[in-house]
Amino acid sequence: MPHLLPSTARARRRAAESRRHLARALLLGVGLALAGCSGSAILPVPDLPTTPVILDEASAAAAISRYRASHGLGPVVIDSSLIRAASLQAEANARAGFLSHEVGGTFDARLKRAGFGGRYAAENLSAGSATFDEVLKRWQVSPEHNRNMLMPQVKRVGIARVDAPGSRYKRYWALILSDG
């Protein structure tokens, strides 16, 4: 009988270890299953009321062109398809109440939907700035955003702002730049 106690205790320990391993495996399986979902599907995303803002896109393109010219680069022109793509992304961010390049779908997928398949494309997002001049200055002092605006291959842009008064930042901007 004394000999059975240790083996019974051992069996209990083994059973407990097996249950822990099974629980870990189940948790890992659930985690992997959830990881296959898009990031926004796991966490609830607010659906805040939004208002698109009418911008003077030509003035924005002229300001970006002047900035590029000061760095020896060619001008950009406004592209209506890129404006639509930028508007959709600015609205997706405004509705979510935060900035993300993925909230409206991947950048590549959004560009394809807009009809662009160029080799060079970039996106600048921002939140909070009240005017285009303010957001342009913010992008100029940010190394990554500035690099996007100064891509030599860029020829077309789309810019948009969507407001979400009930959100933390109130104003959401998107600029999409492309080579064609």
17 in any annotated domain: no
Assigned domain for 46 exists: no
pLDDT, average across residues 158-170 = 94
In this structure, are residues 146 and 140 in contact, taking their beta carbons and an 8 Å threshold?
A: yes
Partnered with residue 174 across adjacent β-strands are: 125, 160
Average pLDDT for residues 94-110, to the nearest whole number?
90
**pLDDT tens per residue across span 119-131:** 899 999 999 999 9
Coil/strand/helix, residue 77:
strand
Cβ atoms of residues 75 and 69 within 8 Å: yes
| Residue whose pair of structure tokens reads 């959100």 in the numeric block | 167
- In CATH, what number is assigned to the domain containing residue 58? 3.40.33.10
DSSP 125: E
Q: Rounded to whole angstroms, what are the CA distances from 94 to 10, 41, 158?
A: 58, 17, 17
The residue-averaged pLDDT of 84-89 equals: 93
Output the pLDDT for position 46: 64
Is the residue at 172 inside a domain? yes
Say if 63 falls within a structural domain: yes
| Phi, psi angles (nearest 5°) of residue 56 | -90, 85
Contact 121, 176 (CB under 8 A): yes
Q: Kindly state whether residue 41 falls inside one of the protein's structural domains.
A: no
Establish how many alpha carbons lie within 13 A of residue 58's alpha carbon, considering only the half-sphere containing its beta carbon: 0
pLDDT digits (tens, 9 = 90+) for 24-37: 443 333 333 333 33
Cα 42 from chain centroid (whole Å): 16
Is residue 92 domain-resident? yes
In this structure, how many other beta carbons lie within 10 angstroms of the beta carbon of residue 9? 10
What residue numbers bound the domain in which 168 lies? 51-178
Q: How confident is the model at residue 112 (pLDDT cuts 50, 70, 90)?
A: confident
Q: Name the domain count of the chain.
A: 1
User: Is 1 inside any structural domain?
Assistant: no
User: pLDDT tens digits for 37-85?
Assistant: 333 333 345 677 888 888 899 999 999 999 999 999 999 999 999 999 9
Percent of the chain's residues with pLDDT above 70 = 74
In a domain, 30, yes or no: no
